[in-house]
Amino acid sequence: MKAFTVSLLAVLSFSAMAEIENSKFVKRHQDVIEKAVQLKCDVPNGRLIEISNKTTRHQVDQGIVDYTYETVIEVEGNGVITVLSAYYDGYDHQDQDWGTYTVESILGCN
């Protein structure tokens, strides 16, 4: 019984910390994308698999660099979508960390 309980807790904790498979994005960026996909595409617990990513670097000013991302993601059971996201150099007061991640748009939701 103890082994079953431990296994169940491991599965539940893994699903609560879901990541986008094949993604090299930092956890905060993945979390922002995952939440946006869940809301916009109405996929509460879909498995997300990154197919490709195009990163564009934007030199804003001396020492300030922003990035935009065009990421193609397979949403299990819902097909393929394209997520346009960005990283803005600066302090994120909500996460209390440097760098702000946002999702600009999602293309291809059913």
pLDDT range class, residue 63, cuts 50, 70, 90: confident
pLDDT range class, residue 2, cuts 50, 70, 90: low
How large a percentage of the chain has pLDDT more than 90? 60
Calpha distance 49→34 (Å, rounded): 11
Q: Which residues contact 76 (CB under 8 A, 6 or more apart)?
A: 46, 47, 48, 49
pLDDT range class, residue 43, cuts 50, 70, 90: confident
Tokens (6 digits) for 36 = 């946006």
Strand 48-61 relative to strand 97-107: parallel, antiparallel, unpaired? Answer: unpaired
pLDDT value, residue 5 = 43
Instruction: Name the pTM for this structure.
Output: 0.79
